[in-house]
């Protein structure tokens, strides 16, 4: 394979990018934006080596503990559980939540071997058991797998005497939290049940 | 900016990639495919430094002269002029052209300062003046700018006594050659006028 063919193959690893898009991207960069190609290469290598998971909430972070977890002015009585760093970022952008987060490693998907263990349920239960936590808000997606994840985690939390709530159904059913508009997210937070 | 934010900014330099897509790509690579991130970084850096333009036809090539230009079994009487390496690749995939190519540096766009000089018209006229060339097929896009480019180049070629033809109108008007199906391209080549 030539360097151009290798580049097209590599770009196909990006989500949502097929042969046509990969080719268009490669040709564009080589013909019009070689500085861009080098900038993207550098940013990818830097992020792949520098971005780690926050020890406390498991979102992306370059420091051992992320900025939010390091912020002592937030409401320690509320812990919001999300599926991905993207969901956490969407909630944070809504500006309607002042507590702390816990980011799962995805959602339950027994068929894909995503067990409660694999998504970090043990760490969540340990985090939720800290005395300051009064309520855990389960903000997993309103998809079948997200609902199942919320159900299983909710049961486990309540069995340990921890209050567990769910975002209200203001969030459109079947959608990924990351793509929901901010107003809907804010509303769903207020109406949590 | 964090390494993650820098990565999202960098990915937005890819054509067709906005804030949302860039974020989705960055999150996907960091959460599920760090090897992919490193592979793309490496392929981009390699391509940016290794891929050059063929000295003879100006398409992408790692060698000073590309494979097609180095192939002496092709029909030296036909020279096909295209706007981009992507168009050249589309024509080659159609399997209906056995001559050689000349890749312009884009198309005439006086408002953007793309002059005949800038797109490589001088080099084309020199290449077309080689004794073996009997016909130059102008396969620029059927857009206003592509038509203007074909018109100007056709005039210049004919003024030098060189036969210049245009792909037939089998190619849908207003479309980019790169995205045209192979059968249409083959038909348009046969019907060239
Ligand atoms: Zn954190
Ligand atoms: Zn060549």
Domain tally, chain B = 2
Please tell me if residue A63 touches chain B, with a CB cutoff of 8 Å: no
For A88-102, A139-153, B56-70, B160-174, which range has the lowest pLDDT when averaged over its residues? B160-174
Q: Which of A30, A34, A43 is the best mutation test for B, with the most CBs of B within 10 A? A: A43
User: What pLDDT shows up at residue A118?
Assistant: 75
Residue of A129 and B178 predicted with greater confidence:
A129
**DSSP label at residue B18:** -
Residues A85 and A140 in one domain: yes
Q: Which domain holds residue A96?
A: 75-166
Please tell me if residue B33 touches chain A, with a CB cutoff of 8 Å: yes
CATH number at residue B8: 1.10.8.420
Q: What is the mean pLDDT of residues A85-95?
A: 87
Which of B16, B30, B44 comes nearest A60 by C-beta? B30
Residues B82 and B44 in one domain: no
Q: Which of B48, B66, B178 is the best mutation test for A, with the most CBs of A within 10 A? A: B48
> Among residues A50, A67, A89, which one ends one of the domains?
A50
Which of A16, A36, A86 comes nearest B21 by C-beta? A16
Residues A101 and A46 in one domain: no
- Confirm whether B29 is domain-assigned: yes
Residues A82 and A157 in one domain: yes
How far B111 CA lies from chain A's nearest CA (Å)? 18
Nearest listed ligand to the Cα of residue B127: 2
The answer, yes or no, to whether residue A179 has pLDDT greater than 90, is: no
- Confirm whether A103 is domain-assigned: yes
Q: Nearest chain A Cα to B37, which residue?
A: A44
Euclidean distance between CA atoms A51 and B178, whole angstroms? 38
- Confirm whether B181 is domain-assigned: no
Euclidean distance between CA atoms A167 and A138, whole angstroms? 7
Residues B41 and B91 in one domain: no
Residues A160 and A87 in one domain: yes
CATH number at residue B79: 3.40.1360.10
User: What pLDDT shows up at residue A169?
Assistant: 66
What pTM did the predictor assign? 0.77
- Confirm whether B192 is domain-assigned: no
**DSSP label at residue B170:** T
- Confirm whether B175 is domain-assigned: no
**Count of other CB atoms within 10 angstroms of residue B35:** 11
In the block, which residue shows the tokens 């027994």?
A: A110
Residues B32 and B80 in one domain: no
Closest by CA position to B145, among listed B103, B189, B83: B83
Which stretches of B37-77 are assigned E, i.e. beta strand? 52-53, 60-61
In the block, which residue shows the tokens 């989500």?
A: A15
Residues A82 and A40 in one domain: no
Residues A85 and A159 in one domain: yes
Contact B91, A31 (CB under 8 A): no
Residues A38 and A100 in one domain: no
Euclidean distance between CA atoms A118 and A129, whole angstroms? 19
Residues B38 and B118 in one domain: no
Tokens of B39: 């592979």
- Encode pLDDT of B134-152 as tens digits: 999 999 987 888 888 999 9
Please tell me if residue B13 touches chain A, with a CB cutoff of 8 Å: yes
For A14-18, A84-88, B26-30, B41-45, which range has the lowest pLDDT when averaged over its residues? A84-88
- Confirm whether A40 is domain-assigned: yes
- Confirm whether A182 is domain-assigned: no
- Confirm whether B106 is domain-assigned: yes
Residues A88 and A42 in one domain: no
How distant, in Å, are the alpha carbons of A64, B55, B68 from that of B59? 48, 8, 10
Which of A27, A30, A44 comes nearest B40 by C-beta? A44
Residue of A115 and A84 predicted with greater confidence:
A84
Nearest listed ligand to the Cα of residue B92: 2
How far A5 CA lies from chain B's nearest CA (Å)? 9
B31 to A2: CB separation less than 8 angstroms, yes or no: no
Please tell me if residue A59 touches chain B, with a CB cutoff of 8 Å: no
């Amino acid at each position: 394979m030539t360097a151009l063919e290798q580049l097209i193959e590599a770009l196909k690893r990006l989500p949502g990018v097929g042969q046509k898009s990969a080719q268009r991207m490669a040709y564009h960069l080589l013909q019009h934006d070689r500085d861009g190609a080098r900038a993207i290469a550098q940013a990818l290598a830097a992020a792949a080596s520098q971005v780690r998971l926050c020890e406390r909430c498991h979102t992306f972070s370059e420091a051992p503990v992320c900025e939010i977890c390091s912020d002592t002015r937030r409401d320690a009585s509320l812990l919001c559980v999300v599926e991905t760093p993207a969901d956490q970022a969407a909630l944070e952008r809504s500006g309607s939540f002042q507590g702390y987060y816990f980011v799962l490693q995805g959602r339950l998907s027994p068929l894909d071997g995503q067990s409660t263990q694999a998504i970090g349920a043990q760490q969540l239960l340990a985090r939720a058991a800290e005395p300051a936590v009064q309520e855990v808000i389960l903000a997993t997606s309103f998809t079948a797998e997200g609902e199942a994840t919320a159900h299983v985690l909710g049961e486990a939390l309540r069995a340990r005497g921890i209050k567990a709530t769910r975002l209200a159904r203001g969030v459109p059913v079947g959608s990924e939290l990351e793509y929901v508009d901010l107003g809907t997210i804010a509303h769903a937070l207020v109406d949590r049940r």
